[in-house]
Amino acid sequence: MHNQSKLRLHKSVLRTGVAGAIALALGLSANQAMAKELPEGFVINKENYESIKNDTFEKKTIASMVPEKLEWMIKNYNLTIKLAHSKKIEMDPKYVEWSKKNIGTVKFNPADRTVTGWQAGMLFPAETIKMDDPHAGDKVIWNLRAATYGATMDLRDIAWAFLDAKKGYE
């Protein structure tokens, strides 16, 4: 009788475990089935954001690609975003070569926010700008302003406004 009780208990545990595994698998597949891959051209807007934020585009969830402030703009200012597939931007080999040459030769002067030593390419390649650098923003702006001037975009009529988190508008 003792062995029969053990056998019944063993079968019961086995059935419960199998049933639990099946339920878990069904739950996971149902959750995955609810999230779908959105097509190119789909427009994200205030009305659909909550229902599609867990869906994917290019195998990434929409929520993971929409920063908090952009989500806020969608919800509060009716911003719309039309999905388009990523495109690789090919850089001119000469631009890439000069950008590498600039490492260590282009200097930023915090006193007047100017640079020296630049000849061509990107002044401060992205991998050299550290997040804890208090002048990282200046370097990014210099990259946009100087390195692309006349090459890929015309920025002559653009003005820059600097906002400091502690001091406000500069």
13 — pLDDT class (breaks 50, 70, 90): very low
* Residue of 140, 98, 153, 148 lying closest to 121 (CA atoms): 98
Relative to beta strand 56-57, strand 60-61 is antiparallel
In this structure, are residues 111 and 55 in contact, taking their beta carbons and an 8 Å threshold?
no
Per the rule left: phi > 0, alpha: psi between -120 and 50, beta: everything else, 103 is beta
Cα distance between residue 54 and residue 155, in whole Å: 37
* Residue of 76, 85, 81 lying closest to 40 (CA atoms): 85
35 — pLDDT class (breaks 50, 70, 90): confident
Cα distance between residue 155 and residue 80, in whole Å: 26
In this structure, are residues 59 and 83 in contact, taking their beta carbons and an 8 Å threshold?
no
Q: Which amino acid is at 74?
A: I
Q: Under 8 Å CB-to-CB from 123, ≥6 apart: which residues?
A: 102, 106, 115, 139, 142, 143, 146, 147
Share of the chain above pLDDT 70, in %: 67
Domain spans of the chain?
34-87, 93-169
Q: What is the model's pLDDT at position 38?
A: 98
Q: Which amino acid is at 23?
A: A
153 three-class SS: strand
Share of the chain above pLDDT 90, in %: 43
Sign of CA dihedral 90, 91, 94, 100: negative
pLDDT at 27 over 60: no
